[in-house]
Amino acid sequence: MTETVARQWLAQDPDPETRCELEALLGDASRSEELAERFCGSLQFGTAGLRGVLGAGPMRMNRVLVQKVSAGLGNYLVANLTESRKRGVVIGYDGRHKSRIFAEDTAAILLGLGFKVYLSTFVVPTPVVAFGVTHFGAAAGVMVTASHNPPEYNGYKVYWENGAQIIPPQDTGIAAATNEVGSIETLSLGDLEAARSSGALVDIDDAMVRLYLDGVQRLALHPGLLAKTPLTVAYTAMHGVGARFVKAALENAGVASLHIEPLQEQPDGDFPTVAFPNPEEDGAMDLVFALAKKVNADLVLANDPDADRLAVALPAGNGYAMLSGDQVGVLLADYLLAEGPADDRRMVATTLVSSQLLGIMARERGVDYKTTLTGFKWIANAAIDARRDTNARFVMGYEEALGYSIGELVRDKDGVSAVALFCELAALAKSQGTTVGDRLDALYRSHGVFQTLQKSLVLPGADGKAQIAAHMQRFRDKPPTEIGGFVVVERHDLANGGMGLPASDVLVYFLEGNLRVIMRPSGTEPKLKCYYEVCEPVVDGEPVLSARERAATAVTVLSDAHQAMLA
């Protein structure tokens, strides 16, 4: 049965590389299990789209799947949005293997369905596509990227007409429409060059990028500050697409001393200098740290490969120390709320698995606050809802995995605007004779040290997926009464909703002593993700460092105890 389905797939595959790959699998009886795994189902819409390992078969990312999904997306748009063909779809791509051809396949399918298409002529950051959807008033957007996944991955991220990543029922509707698409041999492919000539295809070029960068510049709270306050910045694009855009944004802001790590500056889908192109991974920042020491940088900054995330490191001893996503998030929130306009109604948001500190800060300052499910699509839609329902201005939102959205320019996380605003924050601190670290310590002294930690069980393949489900079910069937000797005082299973949130495969445990444990399967990677948080008050007269050390010990003890329960 598997061989028959595989040969049907092979017959329609337009990609010589994946055709050869599949022919090799079909011709090798010893690889029958691998063949069966490729055809045991299909990649499913997770966080706003598809993501998977490149290769042949419906459980991989390839041209057949991209064309099917594009046809499904087009049919769903026609059925659900007025004048969707006329309004069109914005398409961009990053520097990963096959990204450009996937983007062009998407454009060809949508042109064949009668859509206007806005197609990037070069690699762009993910936030540029999100910006493009609202800028052009498009019906949807598609970004071909696998963000910070390993080199063998690629993905297909979808934006709705509001510029935010798709949420239910859009994701399930597109998936259902995709399932109705037969062989791609039956699909009409538009000719890109002919469409350019007719105006059906519009190139996203430097002019549109300048509009986006102008918007980033308008987010500044202290225009001109960076030109007056010398700031030395070391930056890496992590072999992604961010360098060109960050360089332009910081030049616009007035940063005169930007040093870009040359070995990681240009897009390269092989990611040759890093084992895993994620700034959070061990060793990924080594090259830019060496550069930072050489130039005596005030700040070390890194984008992930599609430049929608930002990592920050500060001087520490003889080197540099990374800030967590939560620390960057609350620092940006503190800066924007303290230095920005104090409208009658302001709103900030973060995800359930991020630190609880932002909510405390918001309540203290009389600012609206929203906790959402994991994924920036929920933050963006919460911001849109707040503007519609209460006319609250969205100040910022963040998620602990290094994602930040500043203002209403882009309805998604944006590593380029976050770079610009964090540099401004650092420059203000420097101009006042303090540091970014001092600002963070002030927050901790006021509210306590909120220490977070995230650990993941990596369980690839169909067996891994089953193991992840089994772990979640075991905790549901026999909920823990204590973790690491701390009594569970409150638990929430969000399978059917709860905590004011939509239904999601998430388990939340609040423990005595202001501790928290959260478990959830990743929507984009073969991981069971676990999140831990503790809070240690800073005693009067005590150095903040002492409380931070206590918090670091406590969160490690908590995580070790919980991880042992998963063994």
Largest CA distance in the chain: 74
* Residue closest to 127 by CA, chosen among 522, 420, 524, 520: 420
* Residue closest to 537 by CA, chosen among 548, 528, 526: 548
Q: Is the dihedral of CA 514, 519, 523, 528 positive or negative?
A: positive
Phi, psi of 66 (to 5 degrees): -60, -45
- Please tell me what DSSP assigns to residue 514: T
Three-state SS for 8-72 is HHHHHCCCHHHHHHHHHHHCCHHHHHHHHHHCCCCCCCCCCEEEEEECCCCCCECHHHHHHHHHH
**Catalytic residue of the set 70, 84, 99, 147:** 147
* Residue closest to 157 by CA, chosen among 148, 146, 168: 146
Report the C-alpha gap between 104 and 14 in whole angstroms: 13
Sequence length of the chain is: 567
In DSSP notation, 431-452 reads HTT--HHHHHHHHHHHH-EEEE
- Please tell me what DSSP assigns to residue 309: B
Q: 403 has which bridge partners? A: 309, 399
Q: Is 143:92 a contact under the CB 8 Å cutoff?
A: yes
Report the C-alpha gap between 512 and 483 in whole angstroms: 10
The tokens of 280 are what?
Answer: 């959070």
* Residue closest to 352 by CA, chosen among 280, 457, 454, 429: 454
Q: Is 141:130 a contact under the CB 8 Å cutoff?
A: yes
Q: Is 550:536 a contact under the CB 8 Å cutoff?
A: yes
Report the C-alpha gap between 349 and 227 in whole angstroms: 31
Q: Is 78:167 a contact under the CB 8 Å cutoff?
A: no
Report the C-alpha gap between 100 and 106 in whole angstroms: 10
Q: Is 32 a known active-site residue?
A: no
Report the C-alpha gap between 466 and 243 in whole angstroms: 40
- List of residues 6+ apart from 255 with CB closer than 8 A: 226, 231, 233, 423
* Residues carrying an active site annotation: 147
